[in-house]
Amino acid sequence: MGANIYKNKKPVIVFLFPAFLFMMVYLYYPFVKNIWNSFREIKQLGGQGTGFVDPWYGNYAKMFQDANIGTSLINTLIMMLATLVFQVGFAIVLALMVDNIKRGSRFFRTVFFFPIVISATALGLLFNLIFLYDKGMLNQILEILGKRELTDWKAEGIALFTMMLPVIWQYVGFYFVILITGLNNIPEDLYEAATIDGATGFQKVRYISLPLLYNVICTCAVLAVTGALKVFDLPWTMFPKGMPLKSTFLTGTYMYYQTMEAKNVDYGSAIAVLIVVLGVILSKVVNAIFKEKDY
Amino acid sequence: MKENKISIGKILIYLFLTLWALTTIYPIIWVVQNSFKAKDKILANSFALPVGDLFTTANYKKAFSNLNIFGSYANSLFISLMVAFVVILLAGMAAYALSRYHFRGSKLLYAVVIAAMMFPAYATIIPVFSMEFSWGIVNTDSWALSMFSVILPQVAGNLSFAIVVLCGYIKGLPIELEEAAFMEGCNAFQIFFKVIVPLTKPSFATVAIFSFLWSYNDLFTQMFFLRRPEMWAITRLLNQLTSQEGTNYGLMASAVTLVVVPLVIVYIFLQKYIIKGMTAGAVKG
């Protein structure tokens, strides 16, 4: 019977055409064109280029001499590790804690998730005020706690830390919600059985919650790593153009800088290709490390 | 079987959770209270409440007279609503066809959808810009064309994720209703709009909220396509504010408040759907 309705296949094309046309024109074609562009000489956004780069792989050769590429790669890798360890790590701790309480779990869920809804640009402005040298919120708190001199949170050396803190902070709640949903799916009778066998709260976490949460944690790890490659809004708002002294570039912000500020559109395309390659390699690596297990 | 007596462990847990909750709530309260102080008074003691002599609405007056806040809001809302609407319409149609019809190549098409999720915006934005430039829809005087130059790439960016989520939902619907509609003489399009769309509403809501917020917050695309101040969406306006008025802390605080407070209100009322919508986006790679 079900086959009868859908025997006439003509409507399929009408249903599929608009969406696939969109994807071809706005995703697949530009993706391929971007690789082509990275070999062309293009100095103006919107231009088709004046010929090929000499030698044709010139933009890729340039990356090896470009110190900023090194900086942005290292910064991006640090960002990835930091998100993996602190974002996911913190989320696990918070989720396990909320799972162990009765009152207020809904409240904490709402409050922890809240920063994700706010645009990263607005948060960038907010954190600019918090990290202000001359009596931003943080320096005032430190002063109350008895610290004498003010800290310049945007100085070289500490800038990277200042940039990563809000990025990490914003998304803890996201992984928290995914993890707490995973925890809620663990059947209650497992805990009851463990209690009868005399397990302590800590043992229950160690031998029931964490092993059964393993696959969810893997998902979070993959998301955190690929997410770190896409970060743009917050760093660009707080540290435009890689300030100070081009030391806070990430691969994404550097691609934008080369394309829009330095007008090296072809080089920007090549960096975009680098971002794609990096994303594919890193998600393969993370998938290999956090291999999902069947229980 | 959790015991009821208050233990030290429980107190520590609540203490820790409350501390983290403070880090997410207090910064907002802080920026709101400082937005009501004169810009030279903020630095003296930013933790004081804006009462008595401290209180002023000067920052807001300046924000409304200097910044095109309402215009930018209107642009943002228009762009994001259109993105959400077009995404659910096109993705709904595609998901319906992919999950109900069996035809050669359907597996391949699904793989095309999945692969499209992997493309970062960085890798497509420059060619998309030159394409739209050659069509003459970027950087023009026309408001409508400028809006569409942002809406189109943002729709494309959300489609594949939406198709995956909606396919999962539609596959789980009982086919009997569609059979009944077919017996009554409905054709495939009537079945889609009269049976599938009403049944898929919860999933449409999830996808719409995700697409809306993603588009609303997406600074990167806006930086490329919205060149003229009167066309700016709200995040683009905020970004400009940092570079132009970075030292006018009062104005910054009031601008952040004006952008964040509406979101807080919407979030309080729709939190259940928003959290669901955003975490369903977890599959968006």
CATH number of the structural domain spanning residue B157: 1.10.3720.10
* Residue B98 and residue B223 share a domain: yes
Write the ipTM.
0.85
For residue A34, the chain B residues in CB contact (below 8 A) are: 123-124, 126-127
- Say yes or no: A192 contacts chain B, CB-CB below 8 A: yes
- Find the closest chain A residue to B110 by CA distance: A20
For residue A14, the chain B residues in CB contact (below 8 A) are: 93, 189
Task: Name the minimum distance, in Å, from the CA of A258 to any CA of chain B.
Answer: 12
- Which residues does A229 contact at the CB level (< 8 Å), separation at least 6? A76, A80, A251, A252, A275, A278, A279, A282, B120
User: How many independent structural domains does chain B possess?
Assistant: 2
Q: Is residue B13 situated within a structural domain? A: yes
* Residue B56 and residue B93 share a domain: no
At which of B20, B36, B62 does a domain end? Answer: B62
- Which residues does B91 contact at the CB level (< 8 Å), separation at least 6? A19, B158, B159, B162, B163, B166, B207
- Say yes or no: A187 contacts chain B, CB-CB below 8 A: no
**pLDDT at position A73, please?**
94
* Residue B149 and residue B44 share a domain: no
**pLDDT at position A228, please?**
86
B3-50 pLDDT, tens per residue? 555 688 888 889 999 999 998 898 888 888 888 888 777 766 777 777
| Domain, as residue range, for B57 | 8-62
CATH superfamily placement of domain A59-289: MetI-like (1.10.3720.10)
Q: Do B9 and A201 touch (CB under 8 A)?
A: yes
* Residue B123 and residue B46 share a domain: no
Q: How many degrees, rounded to 5, is the angle at CA A284 between CA A279 and CA A286?
A: 95
Q: What is the share, in percent, of chain A residues with pLDDT greater than 90?
A: 32
* Residue B200 and residue B114 share a domain: yes
- Does position A8 have pLDDT exceeding 90, yes or no? no
**pLDDT at position B43, please?**
66
Q: Give me the residues paired with residue A40 across strands.
A: A52
Q: Is residue B275 situated within a structural domain? A: no
- Say yes or no: A240 contacts chain B, CB-CB below 8 A: yes
The three-class DSSP label of residue A190 is helix
Hey, where are the domains in chain A? 59-289
**pLDDT at position A295, please?**
56
Q: What is the share, in percent, of chain B residues with pLDDT greater than 70?
A: 95
Q: Do A97 and B17 touch (CB under 8 A)?
A: yes
- Say yes or no: A140 contacts chain B, CB-CB below 8 A: yes
**pLDDT at position B106, please?**
87
* Residue B190 and residue B55 share a domain: no
Mapped to the 3 state alphabet, what secondary structure does chain B carry?
A: CCCCCCCHHHHHHHHHHHHHHHHHHHHHHHHHHHCCECCCCCCCCCCCCCCHHHECCHHHHHHHHHCCHHHHHHHHHHHHHHHHHHHHHHHHHHHHHHHHCCCCCHHHHHHHHHHHCCCCHHHCHHHHHHHHHHHCCCCCCCHHHHHHHHHHHHHHHHHHHHHHHHHHHHHCCCCHHHHHHHHCCCCHHHHHHHHHHHHCHHHHHHHHHHHHHHHHHCHHHHHHHCCCHHHCCHHHHHHHHHHHHCCCHHHHHHHHHHHHHHHHHHHHHHHHHHHHHHHHHHHCC
For residue B34, the chain A residues in CB contact (below 8 A) are: 129
At which of B44, B62, B80 does a domain end? Answer: B62
B231-274 pLDDT, tens per residue? 898 888 888 887 777 678 888 888 889 888 888 888 888 888 88
Rg (CA), chain A: 24
Q: Do B118 and A279 touch (CB under 8 A)?
A: yes
Mean pLDDT of A271-281: 92
For residue B134, the chain A residues in CB contact (below 8 A) are: 46
For residue A282, the chain B residues in CB contact (below 8 A) are: none
- Find the closest chain A residue to B284 by CA distance: A223
- Does position B284 have pLDDT exceeding 60, yes or no? no
For residue B156, the chain A residues in CB contact (below 8 A) are: 22-23, 25-27
Question: If you search the block for the tokens 């696959």, which residue do you land on?
Answer: A215
pLDDT band at B159 (very low <50, low <70, confident <90, very high): very high
Mean pLDDT of A234-253: 87
Q: Do A237 and B103 touch (CB under 8 A)?
A: no
- Does position A105 have pLDDT exceeding 70, yes or no? yes
* Residue B117 and residue B205 share a domain: yes
B56-67 pLDDT, tens per residue? 888 888 888 888
- Say yes or no: A155 contacts chain B, CB-CB below 8 A: no
A202-235 pLDDT, tens per residue? 888 888 888 888 888 888 888 888 888 888 888 9
The span from the CA of B246 to the CA of B219, in Å, is: 18
The span from the CA of B191 to the CA of B201, in Å, is: 15
pLDDT band at A292 (very low <50, low <70, confident <90, very high): low
- Which residues does B4 contact at the CB level (< 8 Å), separation at least 6? none
* Residue B131 and residue B56 share a domain: no
AA identity, residue B89: L
Q: What is the largest CA-CA distance in chain B?
A: 75
**pLDDT at position B285, please?**
35
Higher-scoring residue by pLDDT: B174, B56 = B174
CB–CB of A162/A154 below 8 Å? yes
**pLDDT at position A68, please?**
92
* Residue B41 and residue B74 share a domain: no
Report pTM. 0.87
* Residue B159 and residue B53 share a domain: no
